[in-house]
Amino acid sequence: MEIVLIINGKEIRVEVAGAETLLDLLRRLGYKSVKFGCGEGACGVCTVLMDGRPVNSCLILAVTADGRNIVTVDDLGTIQKPHILQTAFVETGAVQCGFCTPGMILAAKALLDRNPAPSEDEIKEALDGNLCRCTGYVQIIEAVQLAARRIRAKKKVSSKK
């Protein structure tokens, strides 16, 4: 069955099998930043933004993603020009093995897009579906707080201009 969806701003037309998940499709198309973890919506390493909301791509049938706008972490920044969140994760040491990091960053981005000044509890709630087995979460929360401060500062500067 053919579907058309937008992945990282690019329109993609692709044949999918009935039971293929969005996760499988994205990895088949080369978006390897979207990881396979538990396969049952418990770990969050397969997180993508679908129409702006973070979701587990392992829980979505690809055939039902027709017309959706999908964003993976690849769309956020580059090595030369990383996203504010990516920089914050590096600076606070919020990354160890890195397997959970793409999902963490996307869930954090969705939070900061709708709430640029989240409390610690709101950050914990937004990231409650993204598990990390290395860092212990403290630095991850610090990274989101740091990014939030920088995004607010940037907005303040641009509004003054």
Partner 1 sequence: MKLTELQRVSYPDKVADAIDILSDKKSHAVAVAGGITFAFNPPNNVEELVCLRRLPLNYINKKDGAIHIGATTPISDLVSSGLIKSYADGIILATALRIGSTLNRNLITVGGNLVQPFIWSDLSTVAVALGARIIIQEKNKRLELPAEEFFSRIPSKFLNPGSLVTEIIFPPFAKNARAAYEKFTLTEYDYAFLKVAIVLTRTGEICRDIAIVVGGATVLPQRIHEAEGILRGKPGSQILVNEASELASEELKLARDIRCSEKYKRDLCRVQVRGILEKILLDQKVPEWKLF
Q: Given the rule CB under 8 A, which residues bind partner 1?
A: 1, 17-19, 21, 40-42, 44, 47, 50, 53-56, 58-61, 63-64, 66-67, 107, 124-130
Cβ-based nearer residue to partner 1, 82 or 134:
134
Cβ-based nearer residue to partner 1, 1 or 153:
1
Nearby residues of 105 by Cβ (< 8 Å), 6 or more positions away: 73, 76, 83, 85, 86, 89
Cβ-based nearer residue to partner 1, 19 or 157:
19
The nearest distance, CB 2 to partner 1, in angstroms, is: 11
CB atoms within 10 A of CB 113: 12
The nearest distance, CB 125 to partner 1, in angstroms, is: 6
| Kind and range of the H or E run holding 7 | strand 2-7
The nearest distance, CB 153 to partner 1, in angstroms, is: 26
CB atoms within 10 A of CB 13: 8
